[in-house]
Amino acid sequence: MTEASAAPSPDGVLPKTYDPVLTEARWQAAWEEAGAFHPDPAAGGEPFAVVIPPPNVTGSLHMGHGFETALIDTIVRFQRLQGKNVLCLPGTDHASIAVQTLLEKQIKAEGGSKDDLGRDAFLERAWAWKGESGGTIVGQLRRLGYSVDWRRERFTLDPGLSAAVVEAFVRLHEQGLIYRGEYLVNWCPASGSAVSDLEVEMKELDGHLWHFRYPLSGEPAADGIDHLVVATTRPETLLGDTGVAVHPTDPRYAALVGQTITLPLVGRQIPIVADEHVDPAFGTGCVKVTPAHDPNDFAIGSRHGLPLITVMAKDGRMNGVAGRFAGLDRFEARKAVVAAMQAEGFLVKVEPHRHSVPFSDRGKVPVEPLLSTQWFVKAEPLAARCREALDGGAPRFVPERWEKVYRDWLTDIRDWCISRQLWWGHRIPAWFVVSETGGVISEATPYVVARDGAEARVKAEAAYGEASRAAGRELQLEQDPDVLDTWFSSGLWPFSTLGWPDPNAADLGRWYPTSVLVTGFDIIFFWVARMTMLAGAMRPLGAGKAWMPFADVMIHGLVRDENNRKMSKSAGNGIDPLPLIERYGADALRFALVREVAGAGQDIRLDYDRASGSSATVEAARNFANKLWNATRFALMNLGGETPASLGTPDPARLQLADRWILSRLERVKRETAQRYASYGLGEAAKGLYEFAWNEVCDWTIELLKRRLNPRPAAEGEPPSAEVLADQQVARAVLAKVLAELLVLLHPLMPHLSEELWHGLTGAPEGTFLALQSWPAAEEAALDADLEASFAELIEAIRVVRNLRAVAGLKPSQGAPVLFITGRQELAAVLREGSADITTLTKAESVTVLDPAAAAARPAARALAAVTGELQVLLPLEGLVDLDALRARLEKDIAKATKEIKGLSGRLANPNFAGKAPPEVVAECQANLAEAEAQAALARGRLADLG
RNA sequence: GCCCGAUUAGCUCAGCGGUAGAGCGCCUGCCUUACAAGCAGGAUGUCGCUGGUUCGAAACCGGCAUCGGGCACCA
């Protein structure tokens, strides 16, 4: 331990407080230099693999990533201690639209535009940004102590992964699962790109409902009707109306179906059609139909053969078809159309109307349903395969309830628009044979899908070469300028990172499918489902094993800020993990986050004072780290230079009561903790270890061992006896064992601190790591439930004595005789065996244990007295007794017992209880009642003695 | 409209069929040579409301209320 913060100071003692910053940096460097987390696919051991959800290179990480990192790292470190061959693979995501939006904003702020810059220069800038942001992110992940294999770090746009993207696209296309066509898509005018359904967020807004008069073209009907009234929230779209729909059974309009309307402002003749979609009860029961600008209208239009008339351009302005409104922005056009309708007498009324408006997640503007030629993935066949797998239990969701969310989304799934009119991303591997359509790309331009330009040329040559030459044209190819949805590459992550599509890739063979995916519920659709769908399409994967990319999916909640708000970049309320790491240490932050997570899958709230940069929760975890530091410090000062190895297993024959107790507790905690880690009960594991370490190890065991670790000489100047020295060795061995194993159990949660302390305690050489040790072996024989129960009574007895001393106001330095009276032989035996311990922990002058008969024979003394269970505790302190405090204490005992008697006897008096409850419950109840009654009687007796 | 969470001590949350728990905060006393980032002791709850099931409900079931989230969406 060179330069260790744990290095002994000149006087040979560790500092009193733990300073995490240097220690953490040192171990991170040591682990990495040694390649501690760089697994060998050829090595033995059961494989365990996790690919981390790659953070977007959009800047830096916030606390949510810190939380996820803490969870994943705890899991993989535990599995490593279990002896598995663990791969934890890191990486980042290029985040196509997010990064491009961000960069365009930057460029705009500098007074430029991406189009001025050009595609190549823009991409250069994007790569520079990636370098910067990616570096920041990797630095942050390192500071958290993430035990990933940095040598296998991947980026979704790196050459290997890009090749995987192309391969996946080509294969999907070959299977007929990718198609290109003109459909109504969600168009984001801000990004200038199509986006998928998932990237659209509905927002409730206050808008208006405009009612317009649409005149019938022909003569008024028999009943004098010469127009219909339609209502719309989007007047500007009326320029593209190609019909009006009514419900087929609506008697008001039945006679009008088939007639035509003259569209105001435009003059187009449009039919009145009958369609089930119309709700006769809403508004007037008449709906204007704009198939090119609304998904529902698109559906109505296609059922009735209505033409599609697009009146808006991709930039959100009205196009030439919009006539006098051409060139107006869509929101200006709305006002202008309303004004024109009003001027021409077609506006009937305007009502305020609250409705949902689709917004683009990234662009933060309303999306426009627009007709556009795009690439799509046919989703249903892939979803069906996933649903079938789910019926077979794959993957397993933790907590279980998320399975339903996943399944529901896979049911009634819509096709996935995967093309984006962006630059930053994977270029679509399709080449248009533009020589066929006069050098331009149109919907009609034929294309070939290929792995590269050369393959494209071969394919195009085969398909169009001859005909082309015959027509005297030179074959001319142009790659599709668009890129793929960022989630297309993320969807391949669990296998593209392992070497797919190379079927012989060692990592793929060894670690696919991965063991568990740990992620937030907010990307179950975006990511989890896309991974399972794409994996299903790409099988076989790996060595022909299961195709589902992960066995388990652990879904965690979101980290919310101190005001219970979701952290987000736009809200500016993200909490940066680094300042908290600087202040409290990465281990403290990790522990604090994981400890909060017990209610599986629930969001967690991190308290944080922005003004001071402090967090009480993290501070509590830091204090825990310091507690462990000091416990180890104590051990180093008291083990006489020995180590857990040199001390060996303590001789069972020489173990004292407290030794057997803590060893039994250790064994139980060891089992519980392993079970919790293995089943993703990480919060429970953290809480359990916190309580065990602080209460049972530090507050009780260390305090109890002190007496034996530092034996007083029998007489002045005389060396301790051989017996005492032997016991000292036992005490040392117990302390060393408990601490050493505790550090292993804590390691997944607090890797740096445990590594540091373990080295200090064991003297392990530098190149040896706790991170690569084994989980301590199970020792069944150490478990002793009866002993644990009776030791709990001893603890309770000590507490009562301490309480009496506090009530009476005894000074800490002041000794007092302690007298226990009990009729229960087992309890008396434990108290006698533990009398030396009691002496130490209660400042007893003497400890006497009597049975009631013997006690009755003694002269009654004025004493501090309390009763617990079947035990009377007396501190005979003639003259020093605060009688009032003592009476209050006894009265409290009586009140407590009385309340219990009332409850228990009431229950026992109920004949149904005695008759129907299990006999052991009834017996327990009776025993408790007897005890409470005895307790009340004893306390009353004591009270009477006081006079 | 459909679905899913949550509601327990001042705060953050465990508990999920047998007499209410932890951490933080609070009160009292302690610098007891591991630790004041600590030690010992203490106070604090109609477990959202309401029916039901049960010998017994904070826990299980039904309804309601409030808060949060997801999906769908009628112009």
Give the pLDDT confidence of A629-661 residue by residue, as tens digits: 999 999 999 999 999 999 999 989 999 999 999
- Nearest nucleotide to A355 (CA to C1') is B73
Q: For A659-668, b where at least 16 C-beta lie within 10 A, e where not — what string?
A: bbbbbbbbbb
Residue pLDDT, tens place only, A445-457: 999 999 999 999 9
CA of A812 to C1' of B29 (A): 9
Amino acid at residue number A477: L
What is the total residue count of chain A? 947
User: Quick one: residue A278, left, alpha or beta (phi over 0 = left, psi -120 to 50 = alpha)?
Assistant: beta
Q: What is the overall mean pLDDT for chain A?
A: 91
Give chain A residues 717-736 with Cβ within 7 A of strand B.
none
Residue A696 clears pLDDT 90, i.e. is over it: yes
Average of pLDDT values for A234-247? 96
- Residue A600 confidence (pLDDT): 65
Provide the whole-model pTM: 0.95
Provide the pLDDT confidence category of residue A7 given band limits of 50, 70 and 90.
very low
Residue pLDDT, tens place only, A281-318: 888 899 999 999 999 999 999 999 999 999 999 999 99
CA of A624 to C1' of B31 (A): 20
Average of pLDDT values for A731-754? 97
Q: Give the contacts of A116 (CB within 8 A, at least 6 positions apart).
A: none
- Nearest nucleotide to A402 (CA to C1') is B4
Is A807's CB less than 7 Å from nucleic acid strand B?
yes
CA of A41 to C1' of B45 (A): 56
Is A910's CB less than 7 Å from nucleic acid strand B?
yes
Give chain A residues 110-149 with Cβ within 7 A of strand B.
none
User: Which ranges constitute the DSSP H helices of A698-824?
Assistant: 703-709, 722-746, 751-762, 785-808
What CA–CA distance (Å, rounded) separates A305 from A502? 49
* HSE toward the beta carbon, residue A519, CA cutoff 13 A: 23
CA of A483 to C1' of B73 (A): 31
Contact present, A373 and A428 (Cβ < 8 Å): no
- Residue A167 confidence (pLDDT): 98
Is A802's CB less than 7 Å from nucleic acid strand B?
yes
Residue pLDDT, tens place only, A187-221: 999 999 999 999 999 988 889 999 999 999 988 76
3-state helix, strand, coil in chain A (%, to 5): 50, 20, 35
Average of pLDDT values for A6-24? 72
Residue A582 clears pLDDT 90, i.e. is over it: yes
What CA–CA distance (Å, rounded) separates A573 from A566? 8
Is A331's CB less than 7 Å from nucleic acid strand B?
no
Strand B bases near protein CB (under 7 Å) are 3-6, 11-16, 18-19, 22-25, 28-30, 32, 34-42, 54-56, 69-75
Residue A886 clears pLDDT 80, i.e. is over it: no
- Residue A212 confidence (pLDDT): 97
- Residue A915 confidence (pLDDT): 84
Provide the pLDDT confidence category of residue A95 given band limits of 50, 70 and 90.
very high
Q: Is the ipTM of this complex over 0.90?
A: yes
Residue A1 clears pLDDT 50, i.e. is over it: no
Average of pLDDT values for A10-30? 84
DSSP state of A505: -
What CA–CA distance (Å, rounded) separates A587 from A24? 8
CA of A14 to C1' of B21 (A): 36
User: Which ranges constitute the DSSP H helices of A412-474?
Assistant: 453-460, 466-470
CA of A445 to C1' of B74 (A): 39
> Which range among A53-57, A270-274, A728-732, A893-897 shows the weakest confidence by mean pLDDT?
A893-897
How many other C-beta atoms can be found within 10 angstroms of the C-beta atom of residue A707? 16
Is A407's CB less than 7 Å from nucleic acid strand B?
no
- Residue A947 confidence (pLDDT): 64
Query: Two tokens at A228?
Result: 């219909």
Residue A847 pairs in a beta bridge with A818
- Residue A72 confidence (pLDDT): 97
- Pairwise pLDDT comparison (A674 vs A569), residue with the higher score: A674
- Pairwise pLDDT comparison (A715 vs A58), residue with the higher score: A58
End-to-end C-alpha distance for chain A, whole angstroms: 66
Contact present, A294 and A350 (Cβ < 8 Å): no
Is A932's CB less than 7 Å from nucleic acid strand B?
yes
- DSSP assignment of A757-788: HHHHHH---TT--GGGS-PPPP-GGG--HHHH
Residue A839 clears pLDDT 80, i.e. is over it: yes
What CA–CA distance (Å, rounded) separates A669 from A685? 9
Provide the pLDDT confidence category of residue A86 given band limits of 50, 70 and 90.
very high
Provide the pLDDT confidence category of residue A423 given band limits of 50, 70 and 90.
very high
Average of pLDDT values for A735-746? 97
Backbone angles phi, psi at A519, to 5 degrees: -155, 175
- Residue A9 confidence (pLDDT): 44
CA of A52 to C1' of B16 (A): 33
- Residue A880 confidence (pLDDT): 60
User: What proportion of chain A, given as a percentage, has pLDDT over 70?
Assistant: 96
- Residue A652 confidence (pLDDT): 92
User: Quick one: residue A268, left, alpha or beta (phi over 0 = left, psi -120 to 50 = alpha)?
Assistant: beta
What CA–CA distance (Å, rounded) separates A550 from A601? 18
Residue A564 clears pLDDT 80, i.e. is over it: no
Work out the burial of residue A317: count CB atoms within 10 Å of its CB; fewer than 13 is exposed, 13-18 middle, 19 or more buried.
Answer: middle
- Residue A11 confidence (pLDDT): 42
User: What proportion of chain A, given as a percentage, has pLDDT over 90?
Assistant: 73
